[in-house]
Amino acid sequence: MEIHPPHGPIHTKKDFFISLLAITVGILIALSLESLITWKHHRALVREARTNLAVEVSSNRKTMETYLQDIHRRQKELSQVVTTMKELQQKKEVPMNLEMSYTFHPFDSAAWHAATTSGAVSYMGYDELQHYTDIYDGQYAFQALQTEALKNTADVTSRLQLMDPHRTGLLHKDLKTWPAERFEEIERKAREELLATQLLEALAKATLEAYGKISPKH
């Protein structure tokens, strides 16, 4: 912003005050225009961030819905493992067709990183910013728990593979010679993983609820 003094000499107090008033009005107009331009830029920044975040949240919501279905399937598999291990401890004949499946689902956060890097989040209202923060914090926590659950599932799966007749040539009668402690250990691991999936399910539902508050036209 540049301020130019009036052209020509000032001879009277009236000329001086007129010049001062002109300069003051000019400064105020310039400041107002600059503020208006800055305000419009900030609005455009926030509007773009909201659009990108809405698209990203919509994609993550679909991913979470898919993962929730996977959780329910894994809970059934783990419950079957627990039941089978209890029966093996009692030396019962049980079908050894146990299966464990696990899929890892990554979640997008590029729009959120872009919004924080550009400074768009600093121009959002507190409630709106808090809502987005809760969404992505919950998402990060979910991914961390998901990674831990993957390790636990791999542990249970490796133990079950030692009992797979197709892999080891074991017969059902051979399993009866195993000490009950081996089955108890697998049962314990399966129960721990079952509890972890219940926590994942609760966190998934809470995150889905938070996602649902963001619309494509938010």
Binning the chain into helix, strand and coil, the percentages to the nearest 5 are: 75, 0, 25
The per-residue pLDDT of the chain, averaged, comes to 79
Q: What tens digit of pLDDT does each residue of 157-202 get?
A: 887 777 765 554 554 556 677 788 888 998 999 999 999 899 999 9
| Packing angle, helices 126-161 and 13-89, rounded to 10 | 20
Q: How far apart (Å, rounded) are the C-alpha atoms in residues 86 and 76?
A: 16
Give SS3 for 212. Answer: coil
